[in-house]
Amino acid sequence: MCTATEGRWGRTQRALLCCVLVAAWEAAWGQLRYSVPEELPKGSFVGDVAKDLALQLAALRDRGARILDRGKTRYFALHANSGHLVTAERLDREQLCEGMQRCVLRCEVIVEGEMKVYEIEVEITDINDNAPRFGESEKELRMSEITAPGSRFSLSKAHDPDVGVNSLQSYELSGDEHFSLSVQVGADGEKRPELVLAKALDREEAAFHELVLRAMDGGEPSRTGTARIHVTVLDANDNAPVFSQAVSAVRVPEDVPVGSTLVTLTATDADDGLNGDVKYSFKEISTKASKVLDLDPKTGSLKLLRSLDFEEGDSYQMEVQAHDGGGLSDTATISISVTDVNDNAPELTVSSALSEISEDAPPGTVVALLHVQDRDSGANGEVRCSLVGDVPFRLRSSVGSYYSVVTARELDREEVSAYNVTVCASDGGSPSLRSSAVLALRVLDVNDNAPVFAEARYSARLPENNAEGALVLTVRAWDADWGQNARVRYRLAEGRVRGAPLSSYVSVQAETGALYALRSFDYEEVREVGLWVRAEDGGAPALSSNVSVRLLIVDENDNAPQVLYPPAAAAGAGWTGVELAPRSAEPGALVAKVVAVDADAGQNAWLSYELAKATEPGLFRVGLHSGEVRTARSPLARDAPRHSLVVVVKDQGRPALSATATLTVVLAESVAELLSELGSAAAPAEPAGSLTRWLVLAVAAVSCLFLAFLLLLLALRLRRWRRSQLLPPASGALRGVPASHFVGIDGVRAFLHSYSHEVSLTADSRKSQRRWAADSCCNTLPARPPPDKAAPLLGEDAAGARGAPPDALPGPRFEPTAAALGVSGACSAGRRLRAPLFTTEERRGRSGALQPAPPAAARLSRSLSVSAIVRAASGPAVRSRAPARRRNRRQRTAAGPEPGTGTEA
């Protein structure tokens, strides 16, 4: 006995511990649950909210804890002094939760200081305060005396509002031996009493029978309810009414108009007269349904007395009885389902809200606490909340039907300084009903704008072999602030490339964001450089942002193909790249394969092969892309035993780079024959090499001949120039005598005409100039120039060329006239000299614009002396030689300018 008691006590302790743990878990999650019996007086203790929420009484008062009022009946109250939850009025479970097995009342406690809501569930437990009650305390039954024993008659059910063991449990019948009681249990567990005729009736023996039906519940103490049954024995009525449908199910919307006929029942009776007159009545109906529905006893029409409300009741079930005048009856069951109509808009209530918020508030900061509910059900009661417009806030589901308005991102007072946040709640009905609430919020300013790059990421393509210091790209970032906070500076984030610091590869200009390459990149070493650039403003504290920069090195064709096979011949090495081809090889037979690689990538590494040189051009061919050397035809007997092939390997770059490979193919049937051929051909050179040497020798011979011709031509020119210097030079100069005064003296005129041109000589012969004077003829001599502008003629020496005064030069001043020289009318006899022989430098020296001519020009000007001119003018021998001199002059004119003058036409 003691062991059993201890076992029960242990189970009780474990059950209490589980209850405490569940209560603690629910309290941690913001939900409290209490249980109280019904019929408690007002002010009864329900639970200690302050203790269960771990709140001090002072904190509970300071933080503004209260129960939210939803505009409905308040069943509970919260004492701020004690933190106890008490009843606000008497609780009647049967009134609050009619027909529900579990009665739970909910309320919400809001702590405004913490912006938290705690949901409280209070379960109202049932007590046995209601006795079973029949709908009809007295019932009259009419039975024919010919009713067969065993016939069953339905009786009214008793209703007990209590639940559980306190509800209806059993029926008892007392009063007569002719009848017995049978209780049928339905699928839903409901007990239905039936009166069973146990013994045949005899009207002559007993016309009336009085019965008492008793209903009992299982409470402690048990409560009972009674109903009296009056049975009247009638004469025989052998046909009972029959319903066309034993069960009728009707679905009606809740907005059906009052007075509408929901369903019409039909029952028929085969009897005539009073026994065939059928009347309709409710056999069983709930109190709620009796207030809404009405049954016409004559027609059987079920009409609506008042408006239906899905939220108050979604279904009604009743039994209708049809009985004739003889007391026979039939029963039909009617089930009415009310469908919901979207007739209730969502109710949106602002429980708590802020009026201002700092712009640096982190995302997720609670701005307001909202409560939303919809009395409809199903899709019509599904409420969707949303924010109107593009605002930096979002809704977050909270406890139960509460929503929190929180910041979705950091606020920016520079963009928007105040918000009017409109919260819209809409249900899922058609058409949808909605309601809204407006929250006014002011944003407080802080320094919260970081630099923002113009692009989310940057990339640039840089050709390899770039110049050091080349500009790669420029990153840009803007700051929405102003002044010092908007001053952006750039710098590189730490990083390494191939083991070296990133700063040795690239740099960024702090003010402009320009990114420069500090070294020349090689695609074969570095193909891509990833780095981060940070932009930092001048605020305190400074804000910054980073952006990724991807630098792609673009390959250039800077690597020529490298031939792997055949290998290049080393100095002093023997034969390399020697391949054996049998003379019996068929066309297309594989002889060798040239293998090459290219360090570049892409198109620059695509290689093609072609045969550049062959001893026998038509004997072999090379695959364009494979590099395979194959026979183009079968070898012939006349083909040389050894062949040299030069294969060019090119890539596809621009410009294309190439390499060559040399193969030696020996036509032999065996290795021994191959070695014999190589030994015999080691000494003689290849025919192609001999041809190249002969070509080089021929080019050298032609170049030597051309150089000899140029030297001979130069010698001839020098010889002609020295013949022109045969006249002795004069020691003086003719001053103030124009060259035109000597026209008419044939010898002198012929000699002067050959030098009647302007010559500019410099140290560089490419810059020398000569301008030939145009021929002219006149019958008069020009006037003598003014004394201040004396025209020097031919005899001016180097001193005069350097700008010395004419009087400083040696020699007599000679001013012959036309009569003295005998040159009157001599212009028609030949050409006349238009201008004296002066170099361009001498002419410019006189005017002061140019420097004097070099000594070569001075020597040319002294080639004519005064004595030569006088001899020519006085001697007839000179005139006799005039035709010969004119011929010489024509020859010199035809031969061109004399060598050494360096002139340019």
- The token pair at 638 is 């006349």
How many alpha carbons fall within 13 Å on the CB side of residue 590?
6
pLDDT surpasses 60 at 793: no
pLDDT tens sequence across 456-496: 999 999 998 899 999 999 999 998 887 787 889 999 998 88
Helix (H) or strand (E) holding 22: helix 2-28
For tokens 């072609």, name the residue. 610
Evaluate whether 413 touches 441 at the Cβ level (below 8 Å): no
pLDDT surpasses 70 at 313: yes
State the average pLDDT over residues 210-221: 89
pLDDT surpasses 80 at 664: yes
Three-state DSSP class for 195? strand
Mean model confidence pLDDT for the chain: 75
How many alpha carbons fall within 13 Å on the CB side of residue 440?
0
State the average pLDDT over residues 65-88: 81
pLDDT surpasses 50 at 184: yes
- DSSP-assigned letter for residue 793: B
Sign of torsion, CA 233 237 239 242?
A: negative
Q: Which of 357-371, 403-417, 877-891 has the lowest mean pLDDT?
A: 877-891
Looking at residue 275, its pLDDT comes to 77
C-alpha span between 83 and 62 (Å, rounded) = 12
| Alpha-carbon distances, residue 128 vs 124, 162, 172, 218 (angstroms) | 13, 6, 20, 9
- How far the first Cα of the chain sits from its last, in Å, is 148
Looking at residue 889, its pLDDT comes to 52
**Whole-model pTM?**
0.39
- DSSP-assigned letter for residue 843: H
For tokens 């040319």, name the residue. 860
Instruction: For residue 245, give every residue at least 6 positions away whose Cβ sits within 8 Å of its Cβ, in sequence order, or none.
Output: 265, 332
Neighbours of 231 (CB within 10 A): 24
Instruction: For residue 47, give every residue at least 6 positions away whose Cβ sits within 8 Å of its Cβ, in sequence order, or none.
Output: 32, 34, 84, 85, 120, 122
- Least Cα distance to 319 among 295, 338, 342 occurs for 295
Looking at residue 169, its pLDDT comes to 85
Neighbours of 804 (CB within 10 A): 14
- pLDDT, greater one: 13 or 824: 13
Angle at 625 between CA 621 and CA 626, to 5 degrees: 70
C-alpha span between 576 and 595 (Å, rounded) = 15
- pLDDT, greater one: 738 or 861: 738
Looking at residue 818, its pLDDT comes to 34
Evaluate whether 144 touches 234 at the Cβ level (below 8 Å): yes
- DSSP-assigned letter for residue 617: T
- DSSP-assigned letter for residue 202: -
pLDDT tens sequence across 136-148: 888 888 888 888 8
Looking at residue 680, its pLDDT comes to 62
The strand ranges marked E within 479-558 are 489-492, 496-497, 500-501, 506-508, 514-517, 528-536, 544-554
The strand ranges marked E within 668-803 are 757-760, 769-772
DSSP states of 208-238 as a string? Answer: EEEEEEEEEE--SS--EEEEEEEEEEES---
pLDDT surpasses 80 at 685: no
State the average pLDDT over residues 166-191: 86
Instruction: For residue 852, give every residue at least 6 positions away whose Cβ sits within 8 Å of its Cβ, in sequence order, or none.
Output: 801, 802, 803, 841, 842, 845
- Least Cα distance to 479 among 452, 509, 514, 447 occurs for 452
DSSP states of 33-64 as a string? Answer: EEEEETTPPTT-EEEEHHHHTT--HHHHHHTT
pLDDT surpasses 50 at 752: no
pLDDT surpasses 90 at 583: no
C-alpha span between 73 and 408 (Å, rounded) = 37
Angle at 483 between CA 477 and CA 489, to 5 degrees: 35
Torsion from C-alpha of 567, 570, 573, 574, nearest 10 degrees: 30
Banded pLDDT at 93 (limits 50, 70, 90) = confident
pLDDT surpasses 50 at 833: no
| Alpha-carbon distances, residue 449 vs 356, 411, 441, 670 (angstroms) | 20, 10, 20, 86
C-alpha span between 69 and 351 (Å, rounded) = 10
State the average pLDDT over residues 882-892: 50
- pLDDT, greater one: 174 or 400: 174
Is residue 805 reached through a cis peptide bond, with omega within 30 degrees of 0 on the bond before it? no
Three-state DSSP class for 678? helix
C-alpha span between 733 and 793 (Å, rounded) = 7
- The token pair at 831 is 């050409």
State the average pLDDT over residues 79-90: 86
What share of the chain has pLDDT > 70, as a percent?
73
Looking at residue 607, its pLDDT comes to 92
Torsion from C-alpha of 9, 10, 13, 15, nearest 10 degrees: -110
For tokens 């005409």, name the residue. 753
pLDDT surpasses 80 at 388: yes
C-alpha span between 434 and 429 (Å, rounded) = 10
Three-state DSSP class for 845? helix
State the average pLDDT over residues 512-538: 91
